[in-house]
């Protein structure tokens, strides 16, 4: 059942006289009505945030403390909620904002037309002409596409650096940690941006030769701001910030700050004077929540707040208001003026005490744009506001407190015996009935034994049973919070091995991964996109502009640090002992060291950059070249060179001797072959002479002689052909190719 009253309170009456024909007064009344409704609708959220803050700080409600004191019972608060909340906050901050990397990146939007021609070898035509590079090669369509991709990459890197510089300057990481703290404690964290902030820079200009004068130059840059949940009043009918039609943001300003608004465009002096005629207390809306928060901080709820309560409204307003405030120029053409009249646009209005102080157009030209980004620790599907760790463990914390109080009360009661005294039988000597050591009691005459006046008895002690309930409540506390003791650094019964601990830690971070993804979706991506659009619309640096995409890499680049560290250690252990991988270590040693330092969360400044490493190597090489060598080293080098020259000479000499022996053997074989041929010719001549002698002696006739001569000639021709064939074989295969010829 709701604690709200049945009727909503009406708009606050500030005593102003409103002109019903004035667009500013009409807007003021509309804003006051809408603000009153929003404050009422958010009343339950305020109550919930106060309860969560009490649980986080370990403070009971004043009524509960009074009841415990009147009952003379203990009232300790076991601050487990605070420990769990701080652990959860530390885990997600460590994952999202390490000291050596960003959780976002910017890359060019893929262009299919360029990607299709990256491998094309067709000559590129620019204005119908072909061009060549410095080496005389014809520039192809692939070369042109690759150059376009390189230019897009250079521009996107320049845009990323520009946004990174802007975030560093406005201390984005510190403010994001505050947002995470609010989300962990009361369920909702809000960051606002980009907002334009001005800063004054000192510059010295030379006004005369040798004389300089200081000038103050104002510059504007985008930044982010943290909006505390109790100052954030969105459209309560929306379930997420993207669905909200409007947002009220409460701000407190001093009287001097209110006066300073008159220097800004769109802030009429007469409107500001209407506020200055009011006291600061008249502009403040009564809020029990503010009193409760002050009490939690140790301040008095009757503190006199002298600040003016101003409201920054983001939502639809009429064009008539912007023209009345001279935020936009009023068209001179009646038709154009009639077309603008009555139209609503999203703008920012500054409102205080029932008066519209001023207005301005939205910084970004997106339709329905609101500069707020909301992160919930545990989202609520029906509301922009979520739940924090204290709300999730609220009942378990109450059980633990109750059991602990019972244990203390029961322990106090059972610490000693309960004593019964019969006052009619004894009287204390000092007149006090308080039990004290070495006390003297006067026993009356009718009493035979003082024990008749005293009796003792014990109450039952239930500490053992209550301790079991307490341990069960602790287990439930861990399970409900989703933050086990392992996440707080207490190992418990887990394995002692490095791999086992790594797996346990990864399992413990499963819930954190979901929340990191929620941060990427709800904070990083939309916020960096807004900075990108701001620079595209307002930056004067044309070299950073282009069509880019935001890459929120919280889960892909930061959640696997433990696994990467272990894998890198194993990798070094494998390749370090294998000589095959020695070139890998020599070439990639710097990159391996950088990756190892990143997994250990060491600052990147400890390691040299590529340029520093290259300069060091060049210096070492020059030093070695210029450094005089040791004479003994030079002698050893000369000896080594002489030994090498001697070995080369002996090798060449051996080759020459082998060639010479081969040539001599070939010449000897040729001489032997010629001798054999001459011997065969001589044998043939002797045979013919012998035949002639036989013919003469035996008186052979001429015909018979000619026949014998032909036979001998035929045999001689056949032998000669055989000899020549074997000579060719020996010249090709060596002297041992035919043993028959060698023997001949």
63 pLDDT band (50/70/90 cuts)? confident
Give the pLDDT of residue 218: 67
Give the pLDDT of residue 585: 66
Of 407, 376, 403, 377, give the one whose Cα is nearest residue 84: 377
Distance CA 270, CA 274 (A): 6
When mean pLDDT is compared across 2-11, 312-321, 389-398, 578-587, the lowest value belongs to: 2-11
Tell me how many helices (H) and strands (E) the chain has: 25, 16
Distance CA 187, CA 394 (A): 13
Give the pLDDT of residue 284: 83
Distance CA 269, CA 258 (A): 10
DSSP 450-465: GGGTEEEE-PPP-HHH
Beta strand pairing call for 548-552 and 104-108: antiparallel
Contact (Cβ atoms closer than 8 angstroms) between residue 14 and residue 278: yes
Is residue 87's pLDDT more than 50? yes
Give the pLDDT of residue 119: 73
Is residue 238's pLDDT more than 80? yes
DSSP 592-636: HHHHHHHHTT--GGGS--HHHHHHHHHHHHHHHHHSPPPHHHHHH
488 pLDDT band (50/70/90 cuts)? low
Contact (Cβ atoms closer than 8 angstroms) between residue 717 and residue 680: no
Is residue 307's pLDDT more than 70? yes
Please report, for residues 185, 250, 287, 305, 646, the alpha-carbon distance to residue 299 in angstroms, rounded to integers and kept in the order given: 20, 21, 15, 12, 98
Give the pLDDT of residue 313: 94
499 pLDDT band (50/70/90 cuts)? very low
Contact (Cβ atoms closer than 8 angstroms) between residue 198 and residue 219: yes
Q: Is 308 strand, coil or helix?
A: strand
Count of other CB atoms within 10 angstroms of residue 169: 13
Q: Which H/E stretch holds residue 374? A: strand 372-376
Give the pLDDT of residue 744: 40
Q: What is the mean pLDDT of residues 636-647?
A: 76
Is residue 455's pLDDT more than 50? yes
Give the pLDDT of residue 204: 75
DSSP 341-407: TT-EEEEEEEEETTEEEEEEE-SS--TT---EEEEESEEETTEEEEE-HHHHTHHHHHHHHHHHHHH
Q: What is the mean pLDDT of residues 597-621?
A: 70
Q: Is 53 strand, coil or helix?
A: helix
Is residue 81's pLDDT more than 90? yes
Q: How far is CA 352 from the centre of its chain?
A: 41
Distance CA 50, CA 297 (A): 12
**pLDDT per residue over 45-54, tens digit each?**
988 999 999 9
Q: Which of 353-357, 368-372, 444-448, 564-568 has the highest mean pLDDT?
A: 353-357
Q: What is the mean pLDDT of residues 326-341?
A: 73
Distance CA 309, CA 258 (A): 10
Q: Which of 116-125, 171-180, 213-222, 701-710 has the highest mean pLDDT?
A: 171-180
Give the pLDDT of residue 599: 65
Q: Is 329 strand, coil or helix?
A: coil
Distance CA 444, CA 450 (A): 9
Q: What is the mean pLDDT of residues 613-640?
A: 70
223 pLDDT band (50/70/90 cuts)? very high
The structure tokens 């060639």 sit at 659
Q: Is 42 exposed, middle or buried (0-12, 13-18, 19+ CB in 10 A)?
A: buried
Of 548, 547, 564, give the one whose Cα is nearest residue 556: 564
When mean pLDDT is compared across 100-109, 187-196, 262-271, the lowest value belongs to: 100-109
Mean predicted lDDT score pLDDT of the chain:
79
**Residue 99: CB partners within 8 Å, gap ≥ 6?**
601, 603
Distance CA 489, CA 180 (A): 21
**Rg (alpha carbons) of the chain, rounded to whole number:** 51
Q: Which H/E stretch holds residue 289? A: helix 288-296
Residue 223 tokens read as 């930044």
Residue 557 tokens read as 């680049």
Give the pLDDT of residue 2: 44
Q: What is the mean pLDDT of residues 80-101?
A: 83
99 DSSP assignment:
T
Q: Which residues pair with 221 in a beta bridge?
A: 197
Distance CA 215, CA 270 (A): 32
Q: pTM of the entire structure?
A: 0.70
Count of other CB atoms within 10 angstroms of residue 547: 12
When mean pLDDT is compared across 145-154, 416-425, 634-643, the lowest value belongs to: 634-643
Distance CA 443, CA 426 (A): 5
User: CA geometry: angle at 45 spanning 42 and 46, to 5°?
Assistant: 90
Give the pLDDT of residue 402: 92
Q: What is the largest CA-CA distance in the chain?
A: 200
Q: Dihedrals φ, ψ of 739, to 5°?
A: -70, -25
Distance CA 552, CA 485 (A): 30
């Amino acid at each position: 059942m709701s604690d709200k009253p049945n009727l909503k309170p009406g708009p606050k009456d500030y005593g102003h006289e409103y002109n019903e024909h004035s667009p500013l007064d009409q807007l003021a009344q509309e804003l006051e009505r809408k603000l009153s409704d929003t404050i009422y609708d958010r009343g339950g959220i305020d109550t919930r945030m106060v309860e969560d803050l009490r649980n986080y700080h370990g403070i009971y409600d004043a009524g509960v403390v009074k009841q415990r004191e009147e009952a003379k019972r203990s009232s300790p608060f076991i601050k487990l909620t605070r420990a769990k909340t701080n652990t959860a906050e530390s885990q997600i901050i460590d994952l999202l904002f390490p000291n050596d990397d960003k959780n976002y990146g910017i890359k060019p939007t893929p262009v299919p037309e360029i990607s299709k021609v990256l491998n094309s070898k067709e000559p590129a035509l620019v204005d119908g002409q072909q061009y060549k590079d410095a080496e005389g090669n014809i520039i192809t369509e692939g070369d042109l596409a690759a150059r376009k991709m390189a230019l897009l990459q250079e521009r996107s890197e320049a845009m990323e650096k520009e946004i990174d510089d802007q975030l560093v300057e406005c201390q984005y990481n510190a403010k994001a940690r505050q947002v995470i703290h609010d989300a962990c404690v009361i369920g909702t964290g809000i960051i606002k941006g980009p907002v334009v902030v001005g800063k004054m820079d000192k510059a010295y200009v030379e006004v005369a030769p040798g004389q300089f004068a200081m000038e103050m130059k104002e510059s504007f840059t985008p930044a982010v701001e943290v909006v505390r949940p109790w100052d954030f009043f969105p459209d309560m009918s929306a379930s997420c910030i993207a669905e909200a039609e409007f947002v009220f943001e409460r701000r407190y300003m001093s009287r001097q700050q209110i006066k300073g608004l008159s220097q800004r465009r769109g802030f009429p002096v007469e409107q500001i004077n209407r506020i200055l005629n009011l006291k600061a207390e008249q502009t403040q809306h009564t809020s029990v929540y503010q009193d409760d928060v002050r009490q939690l901080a140790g301040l008095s709820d009757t503190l006199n707040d002298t600040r003016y309560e101003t409201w920054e409204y983001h939502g639809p307003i009429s064009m008539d208001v912007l023209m009345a405030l001279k935020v936009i120029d009023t068209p001179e053409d009646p038709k154009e003026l009639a077309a603008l009249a009555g139209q609503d646009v999203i703008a920012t209005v500054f409102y205080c005490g029932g008066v519209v102080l001023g207005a301005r157009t939205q910084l970004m030209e997106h339709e329905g744009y609101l500069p707020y980004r909301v992160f919930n620790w545990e989202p609520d599907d029906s509301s922009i506001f979520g739940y924090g760790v204290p709300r999730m463990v609220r009942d378990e914390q109450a059980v633990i407190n109750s059991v602990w109080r019972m244990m203390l009360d029961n322990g106090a009661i059972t610490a000693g015996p309960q004593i019964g005294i019969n006052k009619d039988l004894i009287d204390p000597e000092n007149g006090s009935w308080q039990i004290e050591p070495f006390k003297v009691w006067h026993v009356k005459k009718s009493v035979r034994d003082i024990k008749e006046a005293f009796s003792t008895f014990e109450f039952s002690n239930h500490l053992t049973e209550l301790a079991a309930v307490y341990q069960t409540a602790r287990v439930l506390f861990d399970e409900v919070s989703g933050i086990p003791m392992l996440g707080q650094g207490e190992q418990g019964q887990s394995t002692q091995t490095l791999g086992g601990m790594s797996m346990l830690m990864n399992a413990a971070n499963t819930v954190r991964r979901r929340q990191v993804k929620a941060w990427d979706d709800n904070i990083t991506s939309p916020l960096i996109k807004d900075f990108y659009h701001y620079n595209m619309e307002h930056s004067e640096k044309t070299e950073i502009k282009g069509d880019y995409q935001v890459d929120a890499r919280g889960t892909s680049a930061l959640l696997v640090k433990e696994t990467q560290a272990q894998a890198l250690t194993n990798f070094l252990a494998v390749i370090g002992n294998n000589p095959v991988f020695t070139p890998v270590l020599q070439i990639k040693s710097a990159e391996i060291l950088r990756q190892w330092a990143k997994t250990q969360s060491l600052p990147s400044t400890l390691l040299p950059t590529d340029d520093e490493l290259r300069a060091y190597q060049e210096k070492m090489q020059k030093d070695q070249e210029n450094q005089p060598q040791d004479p003994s080293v030079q002698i050893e080098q000369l000896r080594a060179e002489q030994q090498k020259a001697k070995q080369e000479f002996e090798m060449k000499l051996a080759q020459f001797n082998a060639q010479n022996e081969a040539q001599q053997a070939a010449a000897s074989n040729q001489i032997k072959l010629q001798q054999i041929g001459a011997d065969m010719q001589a044998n043939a001549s002797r045979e013919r002479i012998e035949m002639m002698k036989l013919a003469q002696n035996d008186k052979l006739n001429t015909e018979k002689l000619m026949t014998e001569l032909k036979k001998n000639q035929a045999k001689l021709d056949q032998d000669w052909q055989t000899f020549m064939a074997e000579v060719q074989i020996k010249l090709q295969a060596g002297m041992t190719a035919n043993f028959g010829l060698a023997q001949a």
